[in-house]
Amino acid sequence: MTDIKLYMAPGTCARVPSILLEEIGVDFETRVIRFMQGEHKSPDYKKLNPKGKVPTLLIGGEALTENVAIITYLNERFPNTEIMPPASEPLSRARQLADLSFCSATLHPIVTRIRMPQLFATEEAARSVWEKGCQTMNEFFNLINQRLDNSPWWYGANWSAMDAYLYWVYSRVESADYPVDSYTNYKDHQTRMKLRSSVQKALAREAKAQTQLEAEGLAFTPSKIP
């Protein structure tokens, strides 16, 4: 019997807590949200997540939203797993929040512009949103690539939630034609991530959800980059 339920959809940033729950090894349930039916914007789901987004983590019936908050919660609730490196000082804890916020508040909005430029412009102008998104992302891919120089993970030898988040960012933009090839350290990081059993289990969970959505005629496919 588990008290943890993750509301997710395949391909989304709900992959980050999914990987972390697998790393922790705690029993959890998932519930697939049907975006194509607008379930994420339904009154029932909005009672859990008023922003109408995934992920939402339900803990003993209490909902928690926002990846940064979910990661912080999991890190404190399951201290033995160290999904973030130990940080005893206020400044080091705040710096970790700065790193996680970099993923959620800086990288994620650019990912959305690269993957779904049509959300931000007319059909004719969508290409320029994609191009601007790619240009903006270059600076941050360079930063991440440099940080991973001679270092397997964001925090050196310590694997962390940052690596799960960076893995999701890379995989999303790679599949939206963002040119990743010159960022070799980041590319190697991606390869290392795919070897982790937590990642393999999270991806298998998403593949199962995708098959289920396809069978229901509710699979979401983003429009092609114009």
What residues make contact with ligand GSH under the rule CB under 6 A? 12-13, 40, 52-55, 66-67, 104
Question: What's the CA angle centered on 189, arms 4 and 201, to 5 degrees?
Answer: 30
- Residue with the CB atom nearest ligand GSH in the bound state: 53
Closer residue to ligand GSH (CB): 38 or 156: 38
Supply the minimum distance, in Å, between the C-beta of residue 66 and ligand GSH. 5
Tell me whether residue 13 or residue 202 sits nearer to ligand GSH (CB atom).
13
Q: Which residue number, 109 or 156, has a Cβ lying nearer to ligand GSH?
A: 109
Q: Please, which residue, 112 or 212, has the CB nearer to ligand GSH?
A: 112
Orientation of helix 67-77 relative to helix 15-24, angle to 10°:
10
Task: Name the minimum Å distance from CB 67 to ligand GSH.
Answer: 4
How far apart are alpha carbons 146 and 185 in whole angstroms?
8
For the CB of residue 165, give the shortest distance to ligand GSH in the complex, in Å.
9
Shortest distance (Å) from residue 168 CB to ligand GSH: 8
Measured at the CA of 31, the angle between CA 28 and CA 32, to 5 degrees, comes to 135
What is the side-by-side order of every strand in the sheet holding 56-59? 29-32, 4-8, 56-59, 62-65
Q: Which DSSP category does 223 fall into?
A: P
